[in-house]
Structure 1
Amino acid sequence: MAQQDDPTSKHPQPDTEGEQQSHPGTTGGMGDEPDHGEQSYRGTGRLTGKRAVITGGDSGIGRAVAIAFAREGADVLLAYLPEEEQDAQTVKGLVEEAGRKAVTVPGDIRDEQHCQRIIETAVSELGGVDILVNNAAYQMAQPGGITDITTEQFDRVMKTNLYAMFWLSKAAVPHMQPGSTIINTASIQARNPSPELLDYATTKAGIVTFTQGLAASLAEKGIRVNAVAPGPVWTPLIPATMPEDEVEGFGEQTPLGRAGQPAELAPAYVFFASQESSYVTGEALAVTGGMPFS
């Protein structure tokens, strides 16, 4: 086996020492920038002509998915917070370099009307929606657990992670033809919750259940619904939402001994978006570095 294929060392453990940012965090603000597949992802036409909506498409996993989808032949709409404009424009350029159309829609998905606007823009600018990736999420670690989680934070986590997924899916389904797909980003937290991420973990468990229920509901329409459940992945969300002592050594607790890179998540989304997974729906695929998801 080639040395570069060893999963324990395929990517080095990120240099996390001292990494801290204010929320929502930016890619350029990270001392050790994540790998989104900019230099490595090679497409093979698996999504030729598809139209994809990706929330949180400016950075982290969303950026890696946007790059992969574009190189597989899809046009992409990127949804993100206004504060993430610089990152979003970088991704827009990468999508266009792949020869595909990129549409940017800044705004807050905690607003139902904005979620409807995202789908309406995809229909008007891309001509439809074939793939919806509900990826954007909010978390804020609270070391004191439930007593430190304010109602304001709980509401923000629920609205960003659950309500927006519901609103976007509800708006997208009427525009989806048989063969379309919805892909939700769950988490290892859905099955292995950390006390300091109680509210976030609760939403991620809800996403798994929502995925299974919606998959059963939409099967007769020929629309598949699946989820990807990442483990610890190095993205701006980590130094922007976790205390410095937890950021340091982030991901080293996994059996593979390191944090994942966004580039290592993108193929799972491509699999669910493509016809390679035509007989898979209601599934949650764990990409966790070996951490159990059951």
Structure 2
Amino acid sequence: MSRNETDTAQSGGVVASHEDGGVSSVGRRAFFSGAAALGSLSLFSSAQAAGSSPSVVQAPGTTGLLDPVTRYPAPPFPQQPQKWPGLQSEMTPRPDCGEEHYQGSGRLAGRKALITGGDSGIGRAVAIAYAREGADVAISYLPQEESDAREVAALIQKAGRKAVLLPGDIRKESICQKIVHKAVLELDGLDILVNNAGRQRYCEDILELTTEEFDWTLKTNIYALFWLVKAAVPHMPKGSAIINTASRNAYQPNPILVDYAMTKAGIANMTHSLARQFLPRGIRVNAVAPGPFWTPLQVCGAQPQSVVQHFGDETPYHRPGQPVEIAPVYVTLASQESSYVTGQVWGITGGDGVPG
């Protein structure tokens, strides 16, 4: 399934909900306004923390501009196989999800978001960004990812927002329904749904792709999105946003990712259809199509280890993206600034222009 901050404030806190329906407290505490929209987000370099030396360019009226090519770690990376679903905390280098450097500006103040796969990678970066932009956040994840999820909850809480933890396998419709129900209950509403959780596992020969593996990918990537949207939409008021996660593979399918690429093309297609269907309800639907991003998905069977070692080297950047670099797009698509944006698939693929 998936490969998914903050002093205790008035409404801050973490709530953990479990598949059996129990809820236990574990502590208190636009599209293209273009560069201007994204420019309102302050992202500071994590290059030193990652062990690299950023190129700093000083120009009149600027302070500490960073070369985007050398800002984050580049391959070669060490081989680091993990068992599915993988943990971010065990990766080298550890993905940068904005834990130390993302600064919000209130763009999502008072919003209530559910993010699947929010424990690590892109989902984690989006959860951190949403909290620092003022939203309360519920994240779903697999029970095996509990340690990563609790790190995210602490970061959300540190940002002064409420965190809700929702472990469960979204390959089951009943679990998807429970996740949405508990998110609505604990957040006292829902107006952002981010369908980010995904399964990717390579297979070099379709004759070796089992029905079980094929079904696993479709249930995680397509069925769960269908079930979550059906459960969430009746609770979402006008002005809400749904953001799906497609992939570069929807447009440039990798021959060893037949089932994964097919589901990501389906997600892009569903995004276009649902956007038109839900606009009369006042709900916008968009998608983000990432290229190569450094997340736990990559080290637990999504790619051969030989590919992991050189992951992202084929892009014009000659490195993978870090989750913190894509989070601002999810912020923009969720914000009211993007009120005229629906049915779009926004490609963040490291310079290859797909989708254009």
Place the TM-score, normalised by the shorter chain, in its bin. Answer: over 0.9
Structure 1 residue corresponding to 2:199, chosen from 124, 132, 138: 138
Compute the displacement of 1:143 (Å): 2.1
Moved over 4 A (4+): 1-4
Compute the displacement of 1:255 (Å): 1.2
Q: Classify 1:4/1:16 alpha carbon distance in 2 versus 1 (closer, same or farther; 3 Å).
A: farther
Contact 1:250/1:258 (<8 A) preserved: yes
Q: How do 1:77-226 and structure 2 match up within 5 A?
A: 77-144=138-205, 146-226=206-286
- 1:249 is aligned to 310
Contact 2:75/2:313 (<8 A) preserved: no
Task: Please state whether the residue corresponding to 1:54 is helix, strand or coil.
Answer: strand
What's the TM-score once normalised by structure 1's chain length? Answer: 0.97
Contact 2:113/2:192 (<8 A) preserved: yes
Q: Which amino acid aligns with 1:72?
A: E
- 2:52 is aligned to none
Contact 1:34/1:235 (<8 A) preserved: yes
Task: Please state whether the residue corresponding to 1:195 is helix, strand or coil.
Answer: coil
Q: Which amino acid aligns with 1:225?
A: V
Contact 2:117/2:196 (<8 A) preserved: yes
The CA distance in 2 between the partners of 1:232 and 1:158, in whole Å, is 21
Provide the identity percentage.
56
Q: Which amino acid aligns with 1:77?
A: A
The CA distance in 1 between the partners of 2:96 and 2:258, in whole Å, is 28
Compute the displacement of 1:175 (Å): 0.4
Deviation string 1:270-289 (CA, Å, 9 cap, x unpaired) is: 00010121110000001110
Structure 2 residue runs without a partner (length 5+): 1-56, 59-63
- 1:230 is aligned to 290
The CA distance in 1 between the partners of 2:236 and 2:83, in whole Å, is 37
Q: Which amino acid aligns with 2:320?
A: A
Q: Which amino acid aligns with 2:233?
A: V
Compute the displacement of 1:262 (Å): 0.3
The CA distance in 1 between the partners of 2:98 and 2:195, in whole Å, is 20
Structure 1 residue runs without a partner (length 5+): none
The CA distance in 2 between the partners of 1:214 and 1:43, in whole Å, is 29
Structure 1 vs Structure 2 CA RMSD:
1.1
The CA distance in 1 between the partners of 2:90 and 2:204, in whole Å, is 24
The CA distance in 1 between the partners of 2:157 and 2:76, in whole Å, is 31
Deviation string 1:234-283 (CA, Å, 9 cap, x unpaired) is: 00110111221111110010112110000001000000010121110000
- 1:286 is aligned to 347
The CA distance in 1 between the partners of 2:71 and 2:91, in whole Å, is 20
Q: Does 1:70 align with 2:131?
A: yes
Contact 2:240/2:282 (<8 A) preserved: yes
Q: Which amino acid aligns with 2:107?
A: R
Moved more, 129-138 or 241-250: 241-250
Contact 1:14/1:32 (<8 A) preserved: no
Task: Please state whether the residue corresponding to 2:257 is helix, strand or coil.
Answer: helix
Contact 2:189/2:236 (<8 A) preserved: yes
Compute the displacement of 1:292 (Å): 2.9
Compute the displacement of 1:4 (Å): 4.7
Equivalenced residue count is 293
Compute the displacement of 1:181 (Å): 0.3
Contact 1:15/1:32 (<8 A) preserved: no
